[in-house]
Each structure stands twice: as structure tokens, then as C-alpha cells.
Structure 1
């Protein structure tokens, strides 16, 4: 299941905070801040999708993520590769390196990451 753009933005704040009350989430947003009812609606949807849960503390709810950020984005990147690049990571890598205007340093950094992963595979 996927999050909408608004839900993803809220989830980013929750991943950063790890646990948060409604006031903490509202404070995390830049101006103009969304209405409390908007955030409440988003949280309700995200709970229904099993992305978020909460603990009742008195009559307040402390929200926390049920899904790790890395797992969420990994699933989406893999879906992107499957849907748009014929399930070919090399086609994706080729597109990514050509179309994102990476600097020489960023390309060198990518090379290092790939070299480390290659070493792991050889073990």
C-alpha cells in the first residue's frame, strides 16, 4: 500500500520524531501549517493503512510509525524499477546516472558504494 503525498510528508515528520503528539507534528510543519483537522484525518488514514499506530496517554495520543523509512522507500524504488525499467536495475542505474546531473564527486561516491556491495557479494 502507498501513501499519498500529504501522508508521506506527515510520515517524514513522524520518522524524524519517532514518537509524537499532535502538537509535535503540527510544530514540525513549516508555515503555513496545516489545520489540526487535516493532520487528524491524515493520521486516521495512515492508521487504517497500518503505517502508524498510537499509544493513549491520558486523553492524548502519542503516534509512532509502524513502517521503517528504508523499508517504505526500498519497496517503492523496487516497484519503480519493475514498472518503468523492465525490472532491470542496470537500466535504472543508467537512467539515474545520466538524467540526474550527478557531479563527479557524487559519481565517485556511487562507485565506492557499488565496490563495497561487490566485495560483500564475493564473501
Structure 2
């Protein structure tokens, strides 16, 4: 299941804070801040999708993520590669490196990351 762009924005705030009350989440937004009812609705939808849960603290709810940022984006990256690049990481990498216009230093850094992964698999 995927989050909408507004849910992803809220989820990013929650991943950053790790645990948060409604007021903490609202403080993370720049002005104009969304209405508390909007955040409440998003949190409810995210609970239904099983991305967020909460613990009750008196009359307040402290929200926390059920899915890590790494797992969420890893799953969606795999889906992107499958759906748009014929399930070929090489096609994705080719597109990514051509369209992103990396500097030579950035490409070298990517090479080091890939070489490191290859060395660990040996």
C-alpha cells in the first residue's frame, strides 16, 4: 500500500520525530500550517493503512510509525523499477545516471557504494 503525497509529508515528520503528539506534528509544518482536523484525518487514514499507531497518554494520543522510512522507500523503489524499467535495475541505473546530471565526484561516490556492495557479496 502506498501513501498519498500529503500522507508522505506527514510520515516524514513522524519518522524524524519518532514519536509525536498532534501539536508536535503541526509544529513541523511551515506556515501556513494545515488545520489540526486535516492532520487528524491523515493520521486516521494512515492508521487504517497500518503505517501509524498511537498510545493513549491521558486524553492525548502519541503517534509513532509502524513502518521504517527505509522499508517504505525500498518497497516503492522496487515497484518503480518493476513497473517503469522492465524489472531491470540496470535500465533504472542507466536512466538515473543520465537524467540526474551527476558530477564526476558524485558518480565516483556511486561507484564506491556499488563496489562496496559487490565486495560484501563475495
TM-score interval (norm. to shorter): over 0.9
Counterpart for residue 28 of structure 1: 28
Q: CA deviation at 1:105?
A: 1.2
Counterpart for residue 60 of structure 2: 60
Question: What 5-or-longer segments of structure 2 have no aligned partner?
Answer: none
Q: Distance in 1 between matches of 2:115 and 2:73?
A: 22
Q: Per the alignment, in what secondary structure is the counterpart of residue 30 of structure 1?
A: coil
Question: What 5-or-longer segments of structure 1 have no aligned partner?
Answer: none
Counterpart for residue 114 of structure 1: 114
Q: Distance in 2 between matches of 1:58 and 1:105?
A: 53
- Let me know the Cα RMSD of the aligned residues: 0.4
TM-score scaled by structure 2?
0.99
Q: CA deviation at 1:61?
A: 0.1
Q: Per the alignment, in what secondary structure is the counterpart of residue 63 of structure 2?
A: strand
Runs of 4+ in structure 1 off by over 2 angstroms are: none
TM-score scaled by structure 1?
0.98
1:24-73 CA distance string (max 9 Å, x none): 00000111100000000000000000000000000000000000000000
Matches within 5 A, 1:13-92: 13-92=13-92
